[in-house]
Structure 1
Amino acid sequence: MRRDSIFYKLFQQSPSLLFALLANPPSNADEYIFDSVAVKEPKFEIDGVFLPPQNPNPGVVYFCEVQFQKDERLYERVFAESYLYFYRNRDRFSNLQIVIIYPSRSLEQTDINPYLSQLNSPQVNRIYLDELGDIRSLPVWVGLMVLTTLEENRATEEARYLLARSQQENSQSQNRAIIELLVTIMVYKFEGKSQREVEQMLGITLQETRVYREIKEQGREEGEKLLILRLLFRRVGELPQEVRQRVESLALEQLENLGEALLDFTSMADLHAWLEALES
């Protein structure tokens, strides 16, 4: 399940969603802009950066990392990239906050001793989705985040509940966005099921939503591109612009093949060789 792309879409649709998770959100949370940025030399890819509105008084920048896999060097990377970006843009911001979202505590980095002072700081927020409470007591947008963590036997029931609640609570445009995100989550979660089976699970006709028509072509392809580019960066380093464009132009099947091949890459030359073989 490509959670990176799902959470990217969630934050893109509703940047203020991040602040619904925090005990002390900024008073102007609705004015923040969500973005994904790169920090060069050394190059870091930051999952999400929430930028305060531009005005004469610098605001607080929020860095967000969504972590659904064990990474024993996560805090080394998160603190390094966040502080480096803050350093290079110091005049734009008055302060920074770091938010790490886990499905549960079990996926947190094991050795946290070197970072106890940072982790205990009010500037660092660790969110465990399975500890937010009953999904039915949460705001719908937050419920969508929790839905990504549920086992299949619970996901269907809770998805139907969120769908019904969204129709009651939200405007038509907001409800449409929530439906499409909810369907995106369920299509990824139940990849082995047919269209009719997923329709029956949710009690809707997916042809009526834009997401089902596009999820296999555009949505899934975007998720694959995002994942492949991040994996390539960690494998062979920063991609030259020309190489990045070649990767982004690949069809879905080619991206999936590259995802398997890159596990054996050790240098940029391996990527060049793979691309040349593809075009020959």
Structure 2
Amino acid sequence: MKTDSIFYRLFLEMPGIYFQLLGESPTLASSYRFRSVEIKQTGFRLDGVLVPNTQSPDTPIHFGEVQMQKDEAFYRRFFGEIFLYLRQYEEAKYWQGLVVFANRDIEPEDTQPYKVLLDSSQVTVVYLEDLGEDAYDNLGLGIVKLIVEDEELAVQQAKKLAAKATTELAQQTEKEKVLELVKTIILYKFKNLSPEEVVEMLGMDDFKKSRLYLGIKQEGIEEGREKGIEEGTLLTKLQLVPMFLELGLSVEEIAQRLDLTVEQVQQAAQNNE
């Protein structure tokens, strides 16, 4: 999983999803803090690291990686990073690993050097293609499945998740967080739509009342007035830049998709740092 991927954002904002993929209770997330750890002098970065809040030496540290494309060197990098971490952070005694593949076809074929680890209870391998329709009964797993859902079904399932979040989540901040994630995923799948169009399409009436949505809409109006262009058109495109960067697209690819100049994309990226 790249540091700037949407899965990093998922694990950061909803760490309970990580434990659900392990088949455990999402409440375990309250005992951990999520970190992105850079290993000194190696150029490696561990993206999904859940460090226990407790001082108990028996509580494991969790290392998570999500792989969406074929990479034969994946396991070499993943386990190499873990053991370099253990070398540099001597307080870590027990650990567990979670590897999430989009499907079985992209898993490296050469697993022999790590067979003992992969066959042990220390490492869990999850294939998103195995998530059935019942995944949408759970908000966390449903969001994960939505990422790999076919376009023809994505909108329908996104509407279900949005409705589920609206009815089941009592805290407004948590509700907005889930709705924003669902909106972001649909924007990624349907790049010709604006955030406002996606919100309308998914029937996110509650989200339209949120400070986040109203702020985006007002900023779009003000930007349009200042620059004498159609209200929000340019700003809407610029707001999509951080999301596309999170999904791993290059500056040039983003400029082409959004019909912007490379300079505009670079400026939007700098403003978001």
TM-score range with shorter-chain normalisation?
0.7 to 0.9
**Alignment match of 2:245 (pick from 215, 224, 247):** 224
Q: Give how far 1:58 is off.
A: 5.4
TM-score (norm 1): 0.73
Helix, strand or coil: the match of 1:94? coil
Q: Which residue of 2 aligns with 1:23?
A: 23
Q: Which has the higher contact order (CA 8 A, sep 6+)?
A: 1
The answer to whether the Cα contact below 8 Å between 2:159 and 2:202 also exists between their aligned partners in 1 is: yes
Taking structure 2 as the reference length, the TM-score comes to: 0.74
Q: What residue number does 1:113 align with? A: 112
The verdict on how the C-alpha distance between 1:58 and 1:4 changes in structure 2, with shifts beyond 3 A counting, is same
Query: What's the CA shift string for 1:217-242, capped at 9, x where partnerless?
Result: 4563265278489xxxxxxxxxxxxx
2:61 equivalent to 1:49: no
Are the equivalent residues in 1 in contact too, given 2:3–2:47 (CA < 8 A)? no
- Report if the CA contact (8 A) 2:58-2:93 is conserved: yes
Local SS of the residue matching 1:130: helix
Deviation at 1:99, TM superposition (A): 0.7
Q: Could you tell me the percent identity over the aligned residues?
A: 33
Query: How many Å apart are 1:203 and its aligned residue?
Result: 1.7
Q: Tell me the residue number matched to 1:253.
A: 265
Find the aligned partners of 1:54 and 1:46 in 2 and give their Cα distance: 21
2:166 aligned residue = 167
Matched, 1:95 2:116: no
What does 1:30-179 align with in structure 2 at a 5 Å threshold?
Answer: 30-55=30-55, 57=57, 59-91=59-91, 93-171=92-170, 172-179=172-179
- Aligned-pair distance for 1:200? 4.0
Q: In structure 2, what residue type is equivalent to 1:254? A: Q
Q: How many residues align?
A: 235
Letter in 1 for 2:266: Q
Residue 14 of structure 2 is matched in structure 1 by 14
Q: 1:47 and 1:226, CA in 2 relative to 1: closer, same or farther beyond 3 A?
A: farther
Q: Given residue 265 of structure 2, which amino acid in structure 1 is its aligned partner?
A: E
Q: 1:169 to 1:196 in 2, by over 3 A?
A: closer
SS in 1 for 2:145: helix
Partner of 2:224: none
Equivalent residues of 2:39, 2:45 under 8 A apart = yes
Which residue pairs with 2:220 in the alignment?
Answer: none
- CA contact under 8 A between 1:5 and 1:223: conserved in structure 2? no
Query: SS of the residue aligned with 1:80?
Result: helix
- What SS does structure 1 have at the residue aligned with 2:124? strand
Give 2:42's aligned amino acid. P
RMSD (Å), alpha carbons: 3.2
- Structure 1 residues 215 and 135: CA distance shift in structure 2, 3 A: farther
Tell me, yes or no, if the aligned pair for 1:38 and 1:44 is still in contact at 8 Å.
Answer: yes
Deviation at 1:254, TM superposition (A): 2.6
- Alpha carbons 1:47, 1:66 under 8 Å: kept: no
